[in-house]
Amino acid sequence: MQYLNELEKTISDMVQKGRGVLAADESAPTIAKRFKAINVESTEESRRAWRSLLVTTEGLGAYISGIILFEETLEQKTGRGETIPAAAWAQEIVPGIKVDKGKIPLALSPGDLITQGLDGLADRLKVYKEQGARFAKWREVYAIEKHVPSRSGIEANAEMLARYAAVCQAEGLVPIVEPEVLMDGDHTIERHGEVTEAVQAEVFRALRRHHVIPELMILKPNMILPGKDCQRAEPDEVAAATLKVLRRTVPAAVPSINFLSGGQGPEEATANLNAINQQADNAPWNLTISYGRALQQTALHAWMGKAENAEAAQQALLKRVRLNHLAMLGEYKASMENG
């Protein structure tokens, strides 16, 4: 493989015990929604200011090894004048890029979704790499309903993830593979586990079919949770269900499993991660995070779009990543939230 050494170096820089990935790749509609909650208009400048605040948080690199950025962010600069990817790497945080183009309904498969963006991907990756990106991320989404996801939907989404991952490795970027089974609805934790197991098993079949090297990729899965409209599960139950699915579906060769938060609150996501690591029993993978809102939410509300609040926002972010660092080690306690 042409870029083998580059890919191995990126994996080495990203996969480290006690460090995780910060997802700051919100699409324009998503970040507009989050800014609206704090009465901030989403403009190119406000988005630049927020993402600059994140990567210039002193000490962030002790707990965060990678950051997923949105396309416009690659060329934006911090207040100090360096590009945002360069500012991230100054703290040994590897910059990456979201490359999918969002989801649409899957034709002739009611209820199933499929993600766009494969056309021209290799050419786009070349540009992103020149702008400093060293890894990429692609998300496929699976809703749970009575007859959804269908077998054809599961297979189509797996094929998209595998084709994306193969293109990434061919171009020298580590792929983060994100098959997210949503927690929306009233499904039980058992149903969520069954669907996630079917999804992940099919994803790894497709990855093998497309010659993706498992040692040179990262999996970004959902935890196993009851639906939002169902009774909440305790962290130990979430951990047991999640590890059961991972042991059945994920090859030991995959170096890191970076969980998405998937609508969990910040404290809930941290407590569940902690329980997973406490129950991991010498699991072959690094079990860590690729959280977005669960890391950013408290900092965003401390910031409120005001430059004078930047330091308070950065301290809020640091507290959240420190707590998740402890959860990666299985050493988090809920009492620490008030410390």
Q: Retrieve residue 182's tokens.
A: 């949503």
Pair 48, 83: CB distance under 8 Å: no
Q: Which of 140, 159, 171, 178 is catalytic?
A: 178
CA dihedral for 239, 279, 136, 168, sign (positive or negative): negative
Tokens 């007859």 correspond to 147
Beta-ladder partners of 148:
145
Does residue 287 come out as left (phi exceeding 0), alpha (psi in the -120 to 50 range) or beta? Answer: beta
Q: What is the DSSP letter of 263?
A: T
Task: Give the Cβ contact number of residue 149 at 10 Å.
Answer: 27
> Is residue 220 among the annotated active site residues?
yes
> Is residue 101 among the annotated active site residues?
no
Q: Which of 159, 171, 180, 220 is catalytic?
A: 220
Q: Retrieve residue 285's tokens.
A: 């993978």
Cα–Cα distance measured from residue 225 to residue 242, given in angstroms and rounded to the nearest whole number: 8
Catalytic positions: 178, 220
